Structure formats: C-alpha cells, structure tokens
Amino acid sequence: MQTLHEIVPLREWLQAHRLAGRRIALVPTMGNLHEGHLALVDRARQLADVVVATLFVNPLQFGADEDFGQYPRTLDSDREQLTAHGCDLLFAPAVETLYPRGLETQTRVHVPDVSEGLCGGSRIGHFDGVATVVSLLFHLVQPDIACFGEKDFQQLAVIRKLVADLHFPIEIVGVPIVRAADGLALSSRNGYLTPEQRALAPVLQQTLAHCRDALTRGQLPSAALGEASQALQEAGFRIDYLELRSRDLSPFEPDRDTQAQLLAAAYLGSTRLIDNLAITLPPSRFRR
C-alpha cells in the first residue's frame, strides 16, 4: 500500500489505474481505525479493483465545544491495518492541503432536509462539514464506489442525497454496523469511556432492541419510545434523541410505513454514543 499526502501525486496515481480501466472504491475515514472501518475496506475490496482509503480529521464537522483537538490520531497503526486488509492507497492530507485558504472562507456544501434534526439538530453545522469534505474527496478521487457505515445512518442518508442531487456518478454502498461481542456499536469514541461506562454502554443497543420488539408486537410508538427513554435515563444515560423515523428519515407515518428506523444518541459522561436499528412492521399495525 502506498501513502500519499498531496493532491497532485494522488491524481497521477489514480489516473494510471483509471486509464487501465480499473474500478476504484473509496473508503473515507477519520482514522483511529477499528473493525467497523476495516469492514468497509473489506467490502470495497470485494466490489472494486482498486481500494483507496482516506484519513482526514475534518475540522469543519466539529463544533467549537467538540473533540477535534483530542480526536485520536493513529496514522502508523491505521496504515498497518489498512495494509493487512488489502487497501491499495492511503490518502492522508493535512488540513492545509484540503483547505488551503483557511476554514472561514471555505466554500461549503449544504444538504437540506435530511440533515435536519437527529444529529443535525444537536450538532449544528456538522453535516455541512461532512458534505463539504466528502464532496472534495469525491472530486479528487472520482471513485466508482464509496463505502460508508450504517452506524452513522443519518450521515449515510445525507451522502446518498448529496450524490443524487449533484449527479456524482458514484455508487454509495452502506455497510452494516459492526458490534463488539456485547452489542456495542464500534466507534473510535468508545475509547473515551471509562471502564465503568464501557460496561454500561451496551445497554443502549439492548434498550433499542427491546423497543423494536415492543413496536413489532404492536405497542404504540409513543409508549414504546417513552419506556425506552425512561430505561436509558434510569441506567445513567443522558439522551440527546430517541426517535422512530421512516427508512428515508422522513417523519414516521403509522398508517403508511412498514419500514422504519429506530435511532438514538445518548451520553455516558461526556462521551456521545449513537446507534440505530431497522424495524419491519406489519401493514396498518398502528392506528392514529
């Protein structure tokens, strides 16, 4: 695997493969890789001839009080793991390389509607930062395929809309959540948890699963969500949101939707955890 940091060598490297007719897959990351990231690389390896991973801790998607300065940077370890999983190229630019004229005047991409509420409601400007850097990476790499994890379900929806609206000729592939043995969705931020918090963290997924089961048995969403919210608070979580949405993230309509998504974000101490579960409901299960 090669590692590049500048744009011109990246374009030259890619052009040779493109001229040879090879199919290129992109896996954007912020580094500090875990098995969830590596599942994206493995999926990309299955779908393409050439796999490009990017490692960039993007300042535009962090709020002023968030953890940009503390976010783990583990380039050497990340490079070893990517090599072991068959990645062909790692592009790891500096902030100044992608944003040479600074952040304040940087052109930004806004994806309306689907970016509102949920994580977009509590992390103002976050998805503008995501959409901007992903647009840049799509422009620089020009992949045929890009792989993103379903743990960040709203992010995946934002990127799908971005690609559709801006006519990027890229297939977006969602890869299922990778979980620890106790059910916790893998995340780079899990490393912030204390041992006591880490032992408690799987309760988030367990509570979502109980809520899903209650919904499929016919419990009203308001009641099922209320019970789940109470359970999380009693366990020690501070809830950011807990919502049932249709699969496209529009408001859930009981008389219309049989495919839904249960989404949650909650804090343990200062660590914010997110998770989601898909739900398939029988037609007309709920009545207004």
- State how far the Cα of 152 lies from the Cα of 255, in Å rounded to an integer: 27
- Integer Cα distance of 6 and 143 in angstroms: 17
Q: Which of 37, 110, 126, 210 is catalytic?
A: 37
Pairing of strands 24-29, 89-91: unpaired
In the structure encoding, which two tokens stand for residue 33, read together? 């890789």
Contacts with 194 (C-beta within 8 Å, 6 or more apart), sequence order: 269
Residues 11-36, buried b or exposed e (16+ Cβ, 10 A)? eebbeebeeeeeebbbbbbbbbbeeb
Q: Is 17 a catalytic residue?
A: no
Where would I find the H helices in 116-236? Answer: 119-122, 126-141, 153-166, 195-200, 203-216, 221-235
Q: Which residues are catalytic?
A: 37
